[in-house]
Every structure is written in structure tokens, then in C-alpha cells.
């Protein structure tokens, strides 16, 4: 019986967030189904330690790429490109799945050197608005257009994400698929009974109307931008409360 297929996930970083969780849960799931799995990743200040430890226990192999960084850095980017290419040659995978913008660009370019290597890319959102000045955004869009030509499949987490890419001529409709990012249901079930009464802890009256926003507390999530639009509703109805959950 031959060796199991070897899949490589390449991600810009494994810092806390949806992309890292997606990669790690996918890697763990693939191992449970008998695949060999390697994760190539750049450094992170706040890695998903618990999930990484679980992946290691399942036999996922991690390869750090010291020069793989989120910022544009021609010298470090070239070094990261070489590091990725060396690792791909060493591992000789059956499939490469890249994640996030920087890893996706460098990984797809590196994969061009390996004839017949299928490549899948998941952007995990995009940087078309809210992140960078216009000139940098235009640069990223042009680079993504070129990188999409060296990819067999593109995965969007939502239909809107796919539409945003196609509106900017990134990839062909036939390349795109929507695959919603999974969550670990057992963890949600364990939280079915809240440890505290949140309304009581926040001193929200019982007859209040409450709506909740969930997300990282970062400017790009738009909580501050949303405030002027919701203010009139609060001024008209004192029973309204807005709760933001995140970190």
C-alpha cells in the first residue's frame, strides 16, 4: 500500500483569528482522515497555541518561514519565496493550499516551478477597502489578478467575497467556489450555558431590546463607522442596547 497523499497548507501567519483556525482545523481533520499534512507559516506575535498543540498531537508537521511577513518587503519577500520553494521541493506534496494574501502570492509563484502540482487558494477576505491607501490597494489587486492565473481553484468564505473578487477581474467564475469556514461545534456546545448572566453583568434592564455585534476590536471591522448610523435609533428608543463581543 502506497504512502498517503501529502497536503501542504501555506499561511502568512498563525496568529489568533479565523484564517489560522481554518487552517489548523482543516489540517487536523485531514490527519484524522489519513492524509499527511504539513503547515508552512510565517511568524506571529500571538499564535493559536492550543490549536497548534492539538495539530501537533495529530501528527501535523509545522515548518516556520522566518521571512514570511504581512508587510511589503522586497528583500524579505524574496527570501520567503526561496524558503517556500525549498520546502516544497523537500516535501514534494500532492496538493498546495495557500491562505491569505502574502502567502497566497508567494506560494502560487513558487508552485509554478513544480509541474503538475495542483494549487488551491483561500484569500480569507480581502484588502480592497478599509486597509490600505488607494495606490497600495490597486497594487494588491493587480498582483492578485496575476496570481489567480496560477491557481486551479479559488475558495471564498462567502458569496459576497467571491463577487468582490470577480468584480475586480480576479480569477474566472469557473475557478471560484464558496466554502463557509467551519467551527468546532463541541466548543460551542460546552458554552451552551453561559458562566454568567451577561445582561445582569452589564446592568441591562430586563425589558430592554439588545442587539449584539461579534468581531475583533479593530478599525477595519467598522464598529466606529457604524455608530453614527445607529445613534438616531438610540435617541428615539431608550430601551435599545448594543453589545459588542470581541478581543
Measure the CA–CA gap between 235 and 224, rounded to whole angstroms. Answer: 17
pLDDT at 125 over 90: no
The model's confidence at residue 239, banded by pLDDT at 50, 70 and 90, is confident
Q: How far from 162 is each of 98, 138, 146, 171, CA to CA, in Å?
A: 16, 18, 17, 9
Higher pLDDT, 18 or 141: 141
Nearest partner of 215 among 11, 13, 15, 17, judged by Cα: 17
The domain spans of the chain are 6-178, 194-245
Domain 6-178 annotated CATH 3.40.30.10: no
What is the tens place of the pLDDT at every residue in 68-112?
Answer: 998 889 999 999 999 999 999 999 999 999 999 999 999 999 999
Name the grid cell of 73: 518587503
pTM for this structure?
Answer: 0.83
Residue whose grid cell is 504539513: 38
Name the grid cell of 12: 502568512
Question: Distance between alpha carbon 27 and the CA centroid of its chain, in Å?
Answer: 14
Region of poorest pLDDT, from 10-24, 47-61, 154-168, 188-202: 188-202
Looking at residue 178, what is its pLDDT? 97
pLDDT at 9 over 80: yes
Tally of CB atoms within 10 A around 11: 29
DSSP state for residue 180 in the 8-state scheme: P
The model's confidence at residue 62, banded by pLDDT at 50, 70 and 90, is very high
Share of the chain above pLDDT 90, in %: 57
Measure the CA–CA gap between 123 and 181, rounded to whole angstroms. Answer: 12
What lies within 8 Å, CB to CB, of 113 at 6+ separation is 85, 88
Looking at residue 4, what is its pLDDT? 93
pLDDT at 37 over 80: yes
Looking at residue 59, what is its pLDDT? 97
Amino acid at each position: 500500500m502506497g504512502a498517503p497523499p501529502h497536503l501542504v497548507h501555506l499561511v502568512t501567519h498563525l496568529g489568533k483569528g479565523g484564517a489560522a483556525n481554518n487552517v489548523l482545523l482543516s489540517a487536523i481533520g485531514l490527519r484524522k482522515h489519513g492524509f499527511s499534512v504539513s503547515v508552512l507559516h510565517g511568524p506571529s506575535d500571538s499564535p493559536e497555541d492550543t490549536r497548534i498543540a492539538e495539530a501537533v498531537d495529530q501528527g501535523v508537521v509545522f515548518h516556520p518561514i522566518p521571512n514570511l511577513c504581512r508587510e511589503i518587503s522586497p528583500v524579505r519577500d524574496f527570501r520567503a519565496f526561496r524558503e517556500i520553494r525549498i520546502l516544497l521541493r523537500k516535501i514534494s506534496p500532492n496538493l498546495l493550499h495557500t491562505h491569505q494574501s502574502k502567502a497566497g502570492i508567494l506560494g502560487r509563484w513558487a508552485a509554478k516551478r513544480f509541474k503538475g502540482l495542483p494549487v488551491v487558494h483561500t484569500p480569507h477576505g480581502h484588502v480592497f477597502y478599509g486597509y490600505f491607501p488607494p495606490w497600495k490597494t490597486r497594487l494588491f489587486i493587480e498582483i492578485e489578478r496575476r496570481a489567480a492565473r496560477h491557481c486551479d481553484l479559488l475558495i471564498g468564505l462567502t458569496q459576497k467575497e467571491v463577487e468582490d473578487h470577480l468584480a475586480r477581474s480576479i480569477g474566472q467564475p469557473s475557478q471560484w467556489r464558496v466554502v463557509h469556514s467551519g467551527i468546532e461545534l463541541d466548543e460551542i456546545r460546552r458554552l451552551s450555558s453561559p458562566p454568567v448572566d451577561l445582561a445582569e453583568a452589564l446592568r441591562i434592564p430586563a425589558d430592554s431590546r439588545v442587539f449584539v455585534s461579534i468581531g475583533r476590536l479593530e478599525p477595519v471591522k467598522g464598529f466606529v463607522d457604524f455608530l453614527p448610523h445607529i445613534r438616531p435609533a438610540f435617541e428615539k428608543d431608550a430601551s435599545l442596547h448594543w453589545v459588542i463581543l470581541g478581543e
